[in-house]
Amino acid sequence: MKLFVDSGNIKDIETLAAIGIIDGVTTNPTLLAREPGDYRENLKKICEIVKGPVSGEVTSTDFAGMLQQGHDIAKIHQHMIVKVPLTRDGIRACKALSGEGIRVNVTLCFSAAQALLAAKAGATFVSPFVGRLDDVATNGMELIREIVDIYDNYDFTTDVLVASCRHPIHVVEAARMGADIATCPPAVIDQLFNHPLTSIGLEKFLKDWEKAQAVKA
């Protein structure tokens, strides 16, 4: 399973990319609005850092506006992915843009029926939001299972990009279900490294080594 970072912060992206575990980046208007500078230049720099898919979202809500903004986003860099919402106009825009060879990430997906529409419209990625479903007492990961099953039944090429990951369990369950990608905030990716036994084991190894060196001295 590929791992994307959900962030518009260039420093955070650089730090994680340097480790060698990040395959791409997802952004949205909220994340980009938090960062200084021109968002187009920021997206271009992010593309150059990760050298993989970087999603930039349209802010228009009508078909014509999405189409225009989609073309503008696609021109920023070869790695840019146009992100559109799962609305009627968003699906229409996805169909039009994907028909031109532009890769599209259909976002704000909350049902298997919506995911089916995204695949039929030629989406490169569909982004079901598991954390937001959990917030309203609905099992977000069950949605991932349904989408993966449906896509496998019909050999759809759309990648299931698990979004709104709130903790490492979301990531592990997504991988077990066969999702293609999980996108996480930097803090959640940092948590993937953590286990108390790793820290305890490392501390013991280092103490034993120091004792051995002291005896030899």
> What confidence tens digit (pLDDT) does each residue in 109-130 have?
999 999 999 999 999 999 999 9
Reported in sequence order, the residue ranges of the chain that DSSP labels E, i.e. its strands, are 2-6, 24-26, 54-57, 80-85, 104-109, 125-128, 159-162, 181-184
Contact 55, 26 (CB under 8 A): yes
CATH architecture observed for domain 2-216: Alpha-Beta Barrel (3.20)
Pairing of strands 24-26, 104-109: unpaired
Contact 107, 84 (CB under 8 A): yes
pLDDT per position as a tens digit, 176-210: 999 999 999 999 999 999 999 999 999 999 999 99
Q: What pLDDT, on the 0 to 100 scale, is given for residue 215?
A: 82
How many other CB atoms are found less than 10 A from the CB of residue 118?
Answer: 28
Which residues are known to be catalytic? 83
Question: Domains of the chain: which residue ranges?
Answer: 2-216
pTM for the whole structure: 0.95
Kindly indicate the confidence band of residue 19, based on its pLDDT and cuts at 50, 70 and 90.
Answer: very high
Contact 102, 74 (CB under 8 A): yes
Cα separation, 85 vs 81, whole angstroms? 13
